[in-house]
A and B are shown apart, each in its own frame.
Chain A
Amino acid sequence: MRRYAPVVLLAAAVIAAQLILSFLKLEFLLTQLTMSAYYTLVALGLCLLMGYAGQVSLGHAGFFAIGGYTTAVLSTAGAAALSFAPWLSLPAAVAATAVVALVIGVPVLRLRGHYLAMATLAFGFIVSRVILATAVFGQADGISDVPGIRLFAGLVLSGKRTLRVQNYYIAWALVTLGLLFAVNLIGSRVGRALRAIHGNEEAAAAMGIDVGRFKLAVFVLSAVYAGVGGACLVHFNAGIGPGEAGVMKSVRYLALVAAGGMGSPWGTVAVSAGLTFLSLRGAFGLYDDAVFGALLVGIMLFAPEGLFGLVARGRRT
């Protein structure tokens, strides 16, 4: 049962954080924690792709934006079409992300190394330029006044102050579920296949692993993580702007995964929750992007196994 320790630990930390913050009358911090949960979901998906399938993606902000913009359009301009069940915009957003990932994934994943990195970077660029150029997506203004969404059992996905605690738990429950799914996947046959692919694609293929299909499946899965994060955050923030699709955002997710240790889902969650929260609180001020750039360079130069790998190495010596 050691496998589930991080999941249990995360759930405990989520509950503890809420209790402590409520006790200290610092509940306003839950807002940024909720937002950081949705960004963490993207990082978690990217961690699966990079750490286990060994494929880089510089376009994950694109998937985040596709999820976000789909539900945003469906609940504002296209609200009439879904008036019978507004919540359908969420599954529609996730489906849209998955379909785009599938279509783009088939040719992209045939590439490796620099080619894969550049192709995914170009994909992210295309998404952000299309958003900026298309009237339906609000161009540079983005989409605002996105309503909350009534889920089941009285839960409402919304940024209203009275629903703050509830939304904090919705967001982090999704991350916990995402982590649970990730550790289960990694521990399964599929996970072993993925690690074999990461180690050596030819050898994996020789062992009878359908390399292409596994890579594609993880690519789509990791895009779905990003799409879910994007779709939910739009309703929490009541809007989305083209900045969410920017290349810099994709690079941030990359930095979070690198710092968390590629191939360490719980490390990614821990680092992402912390750093994204600090960034959203404005702790890095004008140097926000620079911090993430420095993090990327520093981690890759001195600790390619991630921050926690560095700690573990320090303990060994």
Chain B
Amino acid sequence: MTAETLNAADVYAGIGDAPPPVLEIEDLVVRYGRGRAALAAPPAVDRVSLSIQPGETVGLVGESGSGKTTIGRAVLGLERVTSGSIRFNGRDVTNLSAKERRALGGDLRAVFQDPYSSLNPRLTIGSSLAEPLRIAGVTAADAAARAGAMLESVGLPADAAARYPRQFSGGQRQRIAVARALITNPSLVICDEPVSALDLSTQAQVLNLLADLRAERKLSYLFIAHDIGVVGFLAQRVVVLYRGQVMESGPAANVTTAPVHPFTQALTAASPVPRPAEQAARRAAREASGVKTAGNADFAGVGCPFAARCPLATELCRTERPPLRAVGGSLAACHYAEEAAARPIA
């Protein structure tokens, strides 16, 4: 299996006339720890490839332990890459040093999950916002002016700059985190579960803000979340991970409404909708689908990681890792994706 067959962008954008991608991840592998024990365990991220076009949002969905956060951290240089490559705007950014990262000039930024630990409690909002600009050599006065303007564009008063993080609610802090990410005019923002700590009404505010800013500034997002509903709202393309491997990837509409991989089907079916009658039907369909419990699904690193839970799994699935291949409008890593796609799902 070559990297080319994995590159989803080529499938959708057409080879040749597509603009160069903002982000290109190829065969990324990240292992935690050292020594023989670490090598024996399946890696946290296992040969993942994905690309993001300019102005595009790619959603990265998966459950805890799926490696979605690790991929984001590897792109940001916060996690050591074991093998594979990460190219950002045509430039290799795999395992960069602090100095090399500084040279990116704030073109690649991040919004993290926890609005309470993503801002230094001892620094004023203005000082936190100005930091990336000051690193890039902007004068203090210019940085302060831009911080004020940026705060206004995320819907906060400019005088918020003089205050400290604890004077703001979770939703406001996440706006501040977005402001901090966008103040350097990046082309790509890694959003790692940016709304999962927020309540419904503030979650919607922050999602709308991200959508607005994307339209205004021609941003690309790598949007990491466990919630396929949230991802489906913001992303044009969705990549579904399980145990460090890509299970399915494709246009958001396909993946969220007509998934072809049994895991994606289990994931969408398990996500409850706030309409009792519809939810009862979905629940019945889910219970009939025969997905096995996550509790006793150990994965030794051989074959398909979902095989232990999959209702369609055969001996082939337990011994041979399925390649990513085109099924319907998506790519799916499943030996039986056609059969899965034909099943009635919720």
A binds B: no
Chain A residues near B (Cβ < 8 Å)? none
Q: Spell out B's residues near A (CB within 8 Å).
A: none
